[in-house]
Each structure stands twice: as C-alpha cells, then as structure tokens.
Amino acid sequence: MSRELNFIDLFAGAGGLSEGFIREGFQAVAHVEMDKGACDTLKTRLAYHYLTQNNKLSIYKAYLKNEITREVLWGNIPESIMESVINEEITGETINDIFKNIDKQSDGHKVDLIIGGPPCQAYSLVGRSRDPNRMKGDKRNYLFRYYAEFLKKYKPKYFVFENVLGLLTAGNKRYLNEMTQLFESIGYSVAEPTVLNAEDYEVLQKRRRVIIMGKRGNKKFNFPELQKVENKWQIKKDLLYDLPYLNPGDEFNIVKYAKPINKYLRTTEIRNGIDIVTQHITRNHNKRDLEIYSIAIDKWVNEKTRLKYSDLPARLQTHNNTEAFLDRFKVIDPIGHSHTMVAHISKDGHYYIYPDSKQIRSISVREAARIQSFSDDYFFEGGRTAAFKQIGNAVPPLMARAIAKTLKEILK
C-alpha cells in the first residue's frame, strides 16, 4: 500500500465518512457493509479514485455517460481494490471470515485508524418512538461490541465512532456507558462524546451527529478541535441554482448543467471537473400530493410558516390521525439550510419538497446528494430508491473531511 495512513471503515454505507478521509490522503484497507447496493456504490467510488490517481478519469466519465457498462468500468480496476469492499453483515458467525478478508487486504501493514458507526435506528429517538418495544432487545443496540472486536484485532492508533444524538440518552445512557467502558477496557482512552453540527463544515444542512473518538493508550485524550467554517451559503442560490428544471417524474440521468459554476460549488468541490449532471431524477406525484406541495411551498416561501397536516382541507386529508406527525409535509428552506436528511426519503418525498412554486415536486437524487455534500461525480448504484436510502443514511463528506484533516495532523 502506497499511502502512509490507512483505515478500515465498518458499517460503511455508501462511503460518506470514508470519502472525507480518502480526500485527505488516507487509504482504505477495507470497507465492510451489509447492503449490496451500498457496496456497489463503494466499488464504483473506489474505481473513481483509482482512475483519478492514474490519469484515466476518461474511463469513469464514459461510465457516467453510459458509454460503457459497470462491468467494463470495474474491469479496469485492480482486483485487490474491488475485493476490499466486503459485502457482509457483521455477526458472531461472520466476523472471523471478515478478519481473514481484511488481513489479505492489509498485506501485513498496520491499521492506523478504524472509522464507522453501526445502523442508528436502535439509538434514534424516531426509531424508539415508532417501535412498540422502544427498540429493547434489538440486536443493533449492541453492534458496538463487534466494533470493539475490530479494535482488539487491529489495534489502530485511533478510532472514530459516529452515530445519532439519541445514543447519548438511549437506554438511560446504558449503551453509551457500556460502550465507553468496553473501549477503555481494551486499551483506549476515550474522549468525551462530542456533538458535531454539519453546518459548521460548509454542509448546507442542519445535521448533528455524535462522534466518539479514542486513542490507543491510557493517557487522557481530549477530543481535538476541528476547524469550523463560516457558513452563510443558501440552498437555492448557492447549492441548487445550476441544476436543470425538473417536472415531477423527470429522469435526467445524464444532462448538462443549466448555469456556470459558482464560488460555493467550486470551494466545496461539489462541482469538480465532470461536465455533466447524473441522477437528477425525481418522483412522479399524484394530483393530491401536488396540491398539498403547492400549499406547503406557498406557506413556507411567502409566509415562513410550516404547513400543519390538520390545517389542510378535509378533501386532502387521507390520514385519520390529525394530531400526530403534523409536519409530514415539509419544504426545504430556500434561503437557509435544509433540515436533516434521513433514509425515509427513500419511501416518499413529502418531507423534502423543492422550494419553488414553479417546480412543484420533491427533490431529486442529485439534489439530496448535494444537500449531504456529495460531489456531483459520486454515483449511487441500485436505482432511485436505493440511492435515496444510501444518501439519507450517509455522513456528509465535508464534515468527515474536517475530522480527517485534524486526525491527519495529529497522526503525522
């Protein structure tokens, strides 16, 4: 392996956390992820990085333009890179085989860093509220124990564990306390859990996540200070302004930009050299939803008030419960930052309505990816629904990059 600093990404998803570290010069030894679509996305992204480093980006561009198949794209990449994406659920039955696979990939090199966060539904406040047992007994509550097995096996200098805010209170703090004690018992000094706000790192989204960081050894370790950036950028004017007009149901899988690049898209590298937009695709909507969207857009854009479901005309209400989930229709803020992107966007677009009465629809896959700070050359495999799910579950790459930059300075 050519790079000095390397990492393993557990519960990797579509690679948002990993992307931040790769862009700061780290090399991925392995990604472990149970979802097949996300693994395919990871492989395609690793293909992009390999081809970029070897001055063969034209091959990747040909794939985005549908001039070559995915098999041809992947066929241009060394097998060792493709095999570093391990499509497995981490369980007691699979963990030893995963270790063998990673050992083959690491080729005897020491692992500097382990990153990742288990699926968050078990700690999420929303997940707990929707589950009749409030997630008690859910096996995902204890996936951190497998994370600890990787720390024991590879003894990285540092680890970065990412999760939702609910982790701080889940089980009356039982999971957090057990997690911290476990990490300390296997030789890590664990910093106080820190809540990061994606907005502090140029992400145009109100997204807060808990980061637990640990350093090998018993010497007290404090969470390092990350460099924050002033973020006065706006969703519509700065982030989405150059994407082509869409009607509901439009599928622009390959399309030219509607306007030139601006300062925000250039400095964040969201637009970074690829001359086309892919996956600018949105759902079709029935007449009822379009009428509701229109009302919601008018109230938010012109009155700065959110539509309450109970305020809709009776003919537009299909749910009997008009007291819970009153904000089930929500418009993206055009002059501020988006509310948190979650995986539910894969089920319907009601919570992510485009903020313009001239384009009454939910947001496109590419718009969702940009709100999460993925660059336009990031291609999500598996179709529209799979792409939305991968994007909603991801860590914003710009926030991940801020963590990676600070850790690189410490490690070097």
Tell me the pLDDT tens digit for each residue of 312-364. Answer: 888 888 876 666 666 789 999 999 999 999 999 999 999 999 999 999 999 99
Least confident of 172-176, 371-375, 378-382: 172-176
Token couple for 228: 């924050």
Place of tokens 């209400």: 317
Q: Are residues 251 and 219 in the same domain?
A: no
Q: Are residues 184 and 250 in the same domain?
A: no
Q: What is the mean pLDDT of the chain?
A: 91
Which stretch of DSSP H or E encloses residue 6? strand 6-10
pLDDT of residue 314: 85
Q: Are residues 179 and 253 in the same domain?
A: no
For the segment 203-223, what is each residue's pLDDT rounded down to a tens digit?
A: 999 999 999 999 999 999 999
How far apart CA 366 and CA 391 sit, in angstroms, is 10
How far apart CA 100 and CA 105 sit, in angstroms, is 9
How far apart CA 37 and CA 305 sit, in angstroms, is 38
Q: Using alpha carbons, list the distances in angstroms from residue 14 to 32, 35, 39.
A: 11, 9, 7
Q: Are residues 15 and 136 in the same domain?
A: yes
Q: Are residues 215 and 88 in the same domain?
A: yes
How far apart CA 250 and CA 345 sit, in angstroms, is 17
Answer yes or no: is pLDDT of 3 > 70: no
Is residue 322 assigned to a domain? Answer: yes
Is residue 44 assigned to a domain? Answer: yes
pTM: 0.93
Answer yes or no: is pLDDT of 135 > 50: no
* Angle (CA) 370 373 376, round 5°: 55
Is residue 1 assigned to a domain? Answer: no
* SS3 of 72-135: HHHHCCCHHHHCCEEECCCCCCCHHHHHHHHHHHHCCCCCCEEEECCCCCCCCHHHHHHCCCCC
Domain CATH code at residue 109:
3.40.50.150
Which residue in 12, 120, 143, 212 is the catalytic one?
120
What is the CB-side half-sphere exposure of residue 275 using CA atoms within 13 A? 3
How far apart CA 402 and CA 21 sit, in angstroms, is 9
> What amino acid is encoded at 105 in this protein?
Q
Give mean pLDDT, residues 246-265.
Answer: 94
Is residue 224 assigned to a domain? Answer: yes
Domain CATH code at residue 241:
3.90.120.10
Q: Are residues 277 and 367 in the same domain?
A: yes
Q: Are residues 370 and 301 in the same domain?
A: yes
pLDDT of residue 136: 47
Place of tokens 């664990």: 190
Q: Are residues 224 and 251 in the same domain?
A: no
How far apart CA 155 and CA 282 sit, in angstroms, is 44
Q: How many residues does the chain have?
A: 412
How far apart CA 193 and CA 179 sit, in angstroms, is 11
Confidence of residue 172 (pLDDT cuts 50, 70, 90): confident
Confidence of residue 123 (pLDDT cuts 50, 70, 90): low
Q: Are residues 170 and 253 in the same domain?
A: no
Terminal C-alpha separation, the chain: 17
How far apart CA 361 and CA 381 sit, in angstroms, is 23
Q: Are residues 135 and 273 in the same domain?
A: no
Give exposure, 359-385, as e/b (b: 16+ Cβ within 10 Å). Answer: bbbbbbbbbbbbbbbbbbbbbbbbebe
How far apart CA 386 and CA 45 sit, in angstroms, is 16
How far apart CA 30 and CA 193 sit, in angstroms, is 25
Contacts of 271 (CB under 8 A, 6+ apart): 242, 257, 261, 265, 375, 376
120 is catalytic: yes
Whether 395 and 211 have beta carbons less than 8 Å apart is answered as no
Q: Are residues 360 and 243 in the same domain?
A: yes
pLDDT of residue 130: 47
How far apart CA 353 and CA 291 sit, in angstroms, is 12
* Domain count within the chain: 2
How far apart CA 68 and CA 60 sit, in angstroms, is 9
Question: How many Cβ atoms from other residues are within 10 Å of residue 258's Cβ?
Answer: 12
Answer yes or no: is pLDDT of 132 > 80: no
Give me the sign of the Cα torsion angle 352, 193, 224, 184. negative
| Nearest by Cα to 411 from 51, 47, 156, 162 | 156
Tell me the residue range of the domain where 239 lies.
235-392
Place of tokens 């990676």: 404
Q: Are residues 350 and 405 in the same domain?
A: no
Is residue 143 assigned to a domain? Answer: yes
